[in-house]
Structure 1
Amino acid sequence: MPKAEETVLEIDLGNLAHNYRFLRSKIDEGVKFMSVVKAHAYGSDSVVIAKKLEELGTDYFAVAYVEEGIRLRKHGITKPILVLHPQIIHFEEIIEHCLEPNLYSKRTLSSFISIAEKLNQKDYPIHIKLNTGLNRLGFDQPEVNNVHNLIQDSKAVKIASVFSHLAASEDWKERDFTVGQIDLFRKMAWELIENLDYEPLLHICNTSGVINYPKAAFSMVRTGIGLYGYGNDENVDPELKPIGTLKTIISQIREIKPGDTVGYNRVFKTENISRIATLPIGHADGINRIYGKQKTGVYINKQFAPIVGNVCMDIIMIDVTGIECEEGDEVIVFGGPQHPVQFAKAAGTISYELITGIQRRVSRKVIPE
């Protein structure tokens, strides 16, 4: 049986390359590709992932916050980086590090123009987000003329792209709503750019949009979860390869008598003589309490071992009764025999929450292409 040394998240760059090429194959030649690497590249390693995607030929990156973009710049990433949810306090840092802000309200647009003018910028690239039904960030349709006027009145900024976000592109029951979003985006974007003397990029498709609505690719697509191996569709998931495999090690095995309890609050009681193994991973590492109480489990030597009792901060306990194993053996939490979607779904959550929750104290191991 394989031996292990510690808890580690293996990052497979070959799988990343496969996913990138698969998604690229769904769009027409000439359509630009924006790779979303926010949240440490969906819980992996944003620098490692961005460097590989730059090598593969991505046109753009997107992050959520300014500090994420600065980290990429400090590690040598040169492609344009869109900051999806910048705060006004960081606008000067955006310019300092050649990042590109998403400006989604009159307040943010006016503030950025003012700061860009103060810093003697000319044609600084900005991105304008339109709200077409997700109702999170973005200008509503009645505000489009005001956006145009603010842009026209300043030489400090220039629109690099106009974009929106689909609310339910993975759900065919919401097809009418999604088509309506696409049509509204087309109309609003045209209202905004028809009198400009240049043509910004347009993008609305996320991963599910690329797969289900490729004719709505416009001039750029914006993919996140698909790059990391998840298609939000059981028919698409087999075409993608999860880039992360979370492994750990058996720290100790003990035999428990019938009627004994395991862990905090004594929520697991043995009915028979049982072998219980402890693993050095817990909710402080991203395996949250929702995964406890036998809702899901891990794999040892290709055999399933349920997580028993409450998940602790640094430890989980698993029932290895009947499984040939010993202390020091490798344990696969997800990846390999267990797809992360299965692990997450068994506990009532989604793959996004699982993979982005893996904390930084978990070691990363990069597997090259």
Structure 2
Amino acid sequence: MNGQARSGAVLSVDLDALAANYRTLSTMAGPGRCAAVVKADAYGLGAGPVARRLTEEGCDTFFVATLGEGLALRAMLADDVGIFVLNGIPPGAETEAVKANLVPVVNTMGAIERWRREARRQGAPLDAAVQVDSGMTRLGLSKEDVLTIAGNPDLLSGIRPVLFMSHLACADEPSSPANMAQLKAFRGLRSLFPQIPASLANSSGIFLGREYGFNLARPGAALYGINPVPGADNPMRPVVSLKARVLQVREVGEGVSVGYGHRYRATRDRRLAVISIGYADGWMRHVDLGAIHGKKCLPLAGRVSMDSITVDASGIPPDRLREGDQLDLINGRQTVDAVAAAAGTIGYEVLCGLGQRIAREYVHSHGN
């Protein structure tokens, strides 16, 4: 029995659409290069299959969040593929990172000193990306730290900086003055280290203009079909679709209540379909969306349960919807961004939240 048969729902990942999105982003990021962010298991899509397909498109640089993610990805990719660890290397794990040819993103003076000590132990310079805070106030060296290093280059002795980077806070809001403020701040800090390749643009940052591109762009969500320009047409191809199996079709009469809390009450005779997905699979409890059958939207009937949802399928003839059929929850019509809007969140959380009970399959649309 294959994984799909064992699961109540299947997430399909179109690797050709993923590759097409990478090509689009690479063109927009030019003349700089384009990396790929595959943290959180490639936003839930599967870091191994995603990264391998992107390497076929020429991507040779990937970003993960943690050491564990980096070690897992290294086992899947060739040694000459660059893997950067955004959260840096935990104290005491530096030697393990060196053995796996992982490059830390150093963002504190302490992290710099620990990596310097490791370089001394190794007897050779070690690559690192230097992250600065340009206005997001999350991770990164402060302006004072950067000025201190610029005034005392020995603080980087033993470290070979291969990237000077920061992260945009408001890139998905093109009119926000924070974008230009961060660009100016980043340029000012980078001017102290002009010889180091620079990176600022994330997915949405690529769409702010070429001045944000520098030497390396770091898209993540846009690769996976999430709209990088909210409020405008999505320039990316859809990459994922989600289907769930029908567990039961039943007829109920007027006045019958459905689900926890009896939130739904039939106003007339209804045909209901119970579908095998719930909040234990990452289908959030407050998603007020049903399913898609062909071109018809089947509204939610009652609350999302742990292992199932119920939809009103009254508009579907009995012979067109049966136990074992599959209904669409994410597709070209009901997109990841639409599901996110219905849940009051963002597409990132929708994808990252889809659990491991959902089977993954990898397909090829062969689209250009």
Q: TM-score when scaled to structure 2?
A: 0.91
The amino acid of 2:302's aligned partner reads G
Q: Does 1:146 align with 2:148?
A: yes
- In the TM superposition, what whole-angstrom CA distance separates every residue of 1:224-281 from its partner, at most 9, and x where no partner exists? 1111112332576442112110111111011122222222222222222222211111
Do the aligned residues in 2 keep the contact of 1:16 with 1:243 (CA within 8 Å)?
yes
Q: Does 1:37 align with 2:33?
A: no
Once the two structures are TM-superposed, the CA of residue 110 in structure 1 deviates from its matched residue by 1.6
The one of 207, 212, 223 aligned to 1:227: 223
Match of 1:182 in 2: 183
Pick closer, same or farther for the CA change 1:235–1:271 going to 2, 3 Å: closer
Once the two structures are TM-superposed, the CA of residue 315 in structure 1 deviates from its matched residue by 1.1
Once the two structures are TM-superposed, the CA of residue 117 in structure 1 deviates from its matched residue by 2.2
Distance (whole Å) between structure 2 residues aligned to residue 47 and residue 363 of structure 1:
15
The one of 246, 249, 252 aligned to 2:242: 246
Q: Does 1:100 align with 2:103?
A: yes
Match of 1:255 in 2: 251
Distance (whole Å) between structure 2 residues aligned to residue 227 and residue 237 of structure 1:
15
The one of 80, 87, 91 aligned to 2:82: 80
Distance (whole Å) between structure 2 residues aligned to residue 260 and residue 36 of structure 1:
48
Once the two structures are TM-superposed, the CA of residue 97 in structure 1 deviates from its matched residue by 0.8
- In the TM superposition, what whole-angstrom CA distance separates every residue of 1:284-334 from its partner, at most 9, and x where no partner exists? 11101011xxx2121012210122222111111111112232222220100
Once the two structures are TM-superposed, the CA of residue 7 in structure 1 deviates from its matched residue by 1.2
Pick closer, same or farther for the CA change 1:103–1:167 going to 2, 3 Å: same
Do the aligned residues in 2 keep the contact of 1:32 with 1:59 (CA within 8 Å)?
no
Query: SS of 1:160's equivalent?
Result: strand
Q: Does 1:323 align with 2:316?
A: yes
Match of 2:58 in 1: 57
Pick closer, same or farther for the CA change 1:71–1:151 going to 2, 3 Å: farther
**Mapping of 1:1-369 within 5 angstroms?**
6-29=8-31, 31-78=32-79, 79-86=81-88, 87-118=90-121, 120-148=122-150, 152-153=154-155, 155-174=157-176, 176-191=177-192, 193=193, 199-234=195-230, 237-291=233-287, 295-324=288-317, 325-368=321-364, 369=366
Query: SS of 1:142's equivalent?
Result: helix
Do the aligned residues in 2 keep the contact of 1:122 with 1:155 (CA within 8 Å)?
no
Q: After TM superposition, which residue ranges in structure 1, 4 or more long, deviate above 4 angstroms?
A: 148-151, 234-237
Aligned CA RMSD, in angstroms, stands at 1.9
Distance (whole Å) between structure 1 residues aligned to residue 250 and residue 242 of structure 2:
24
Query: Identity of aligned pairs, percent?
Result: 29
Distance (whole Å) between structure 1 residues aligned to residue 297 and residue 99 of structure 2:
51
Distance (whole Å) between structure 2 residues aligned to residue 133 and residue 154 of structure 1:
23
Pick closer, same or farther for the CA change 1:164–1:153 going to 2, 3 Å: closer
- In the TM superposition, what whole-angstrom CA distance separates every residue of 1:58-98 from its partner, at most 9, and x where no partner exists? 13100111111111111234310110013324333211211
Do the aligned residues in 2 keep the contact of 1:126 with 1:158 (CA within 8 Å)?
yes
Distance (whole Å) between structure 2 residues aligned to residue 77 and residue 331 of structure 1:
39
Q: Which runs of 5+ in 2 are unaligned?
A: none
Pick closer, same or farther for the CA change 1:89–1:264 going to 2, 3 Å: farther
Query: SS of 1:70's equivalent?
Result: helix
Once the two structures are TM-superposed, the CA of residue 112 in structure 1 deviates from its matched residue by 2.3
Do the aligned residues in 2 keep the contact of 1:8 with 1:364 (CA within 8 Å)?
yes
Distance (whole Å) between structure 2 residues aligned to residue 217 and residue 264 of structure 1:
50
Pick closer, same or farther for the CA change 1:150–1:262 going to 2, 3 Å: farther
Once the two structures are TM-superposed, the CA of residue 283 in structure 1 deviates from its matched residue by 0.9
The amino acid of 2:330's aligned partner reads F
The amino acid of 1:345's aligned partner reads A
Once the two structures are TM-superposed, the CA of residue 42 in structure 1 deviates from its matched residue by 1.2
Q: TM-score when scaled to structure 1?
A: 0.91
The amino acid of 2:116's aligned partner reads I
Distance (whole Å) between structure 1 residues aligned to residue 87 and residue 337 of structure 2:
27
Do the aligned residues in 1 keep the contact of 2:9 with 2:245 (CA within 8 Å)?
yes
Pick closer, same or farther for the CA change 1:55–1:149 going to 2, 3 Å: farther
Distance (whole Å) between structure 2 residues aligned to residue 238 and residue 186 of structure 1:
29
Pick closer, same or farther for the CA change 1:130–1:228 going to 2, 3 Å: same
Query: SS of 1:50's equivalent?
Result: helix
The amino acid of 2:53's aligned partner reads K
Do the aligned residues in 2 keep the contact of 1:202 with 1:219 (CA within 8 Å)?
yes
Distance (whole Å) between structure 2 residues aligned to residue 361 and residue 134 of structure 1:
35
The amino acid of 1:312's aligned partner reads S
Do the aligned residues in 2 keep the contact of 1:297 with 1:343 (CA within 8 Å)?
no
